[in-house]
Chains A and B, each alone.
Chain A
Amino acid sequence: MKLLIVDDSLIMRRAIERCVSTGRFGEVRVATNGRLAVEEFARFKPDVVTMDITMPEMDGLTAVERILRANPKANILVVSALADKATAVEAIKRGASGFLLKPITVESIQAALDDILED
């Protein structure tokens, strides 16, 4: 399976990659903002995406919309520090498959990805 990690933080990209390194994902790619995520999704066609929200150039919620417009069945897990309920609701409204609050742990990211891929 293929995973696309989208986050402007190197620490977060590496943390998520480590969390899934022993799991089901044979190929992992990264993007550092929403615009690059939209481009990389079209090339890579991942099974699932982890998407930060607050990023330069294009935010994650806009990227979720753009990816889903072209790929309605895309699986996108929003992983964000924005802890208000309205943000989580907005992410789901825009089509995200799930919402995970930072900081993450190995258990929390694996469980969230399992939930999405089992649906």
Chain B
Amino acid sequence: MEEDILKIFVQSVTRYFDTIADGGASFGTPYLGGEPESAGLGFSAVIGITGAYRGNIYYTASREKLHALLPCLGETEPDDRLCAELVGEITNTISGDAREQLGGGFMISTPFILAGGTLAVHTAKHSVCYVLPVTWRQHPSRVLVSLQKSPDTP
């Protein structure tokens, strides 16, 4: 199940960068994560998942990456407030996009912006957290996926 879900997020992230930045997103090998000190890259956001799945989706990126991406959205004077807004919007967009394959029962919350470089990951019960490394124009970012199918989901 984990491999299938990670593939879905690879497609979602690819679609985001294809649309916003003419592509260029590449992916490293996913790994098991969750160490707070090493996961965060400066700006992070989390979306809570309920319904057919339970857990959290995180997206974390460096200030440099977000400053490079903001002009693609027309923002010519990037600052920390816009960086925080952008990680929230990216988390929202890739999570929402995943519903195309995970279905309407994959309920997503509004994004919650996490301040600071340390990312305290809340892993879904009976699950683990997978870290999907994403590189765009040599800038690193990460998608963290911790999901568990709800017991009543077929």
User: A interface vs B, CB < 8 Å?
Assistant: 8-12, 14-15, 18, 54-56, 80-87, 101-105
- Chain B interface residue number, banded: 20 to 34
Tell me whether B104 and A81 are in contact (CB under 8 A). no
Question: In the complex, which residues of chain A have a beta carbon less than 8 angstroms from the beta carbon of B98?
Answer: 83
Q: Is the CB of A103 within 8 A of B16?
A: yes
Determine which of B74, B81, B95, B106 lies in contact with A15 in the assembled complex, contact meaning CB atoms within 8 Å: B74
A-B pair count, CB < 8 Å, reads 66
Contact B92 A105 (CB under 8 A): no
Q: Residue-by-residue, is B93-104 near A (CB-CB < 8 Å gives 1, otherwise 0)?
A: 101111110111
Q: Mind listing 7 A-B residue pairs with CB under 8 Å?
A: A54-B110, A82-B108, A83-B99, A83-B100, A84-B100, A101-B97, A103-B20
| A-chain residues with CB within 8 Å of residue B20 when the two chains form the complex | 103, 105
9-residue interface stretch from B83-91, B123-131, B145-153 = B83-91
CB distance from A67 to the nearest CB of B (A): 20
Q: Which 4 A-B pairs have the closest CB atoms?
A: A81-B96, A83-B100, A84-B99, A86-B104
CB-contacts of B55-100 with A (<8 A): 73-75, 81-82, 85-86, 88-89, 92-93, 95-100
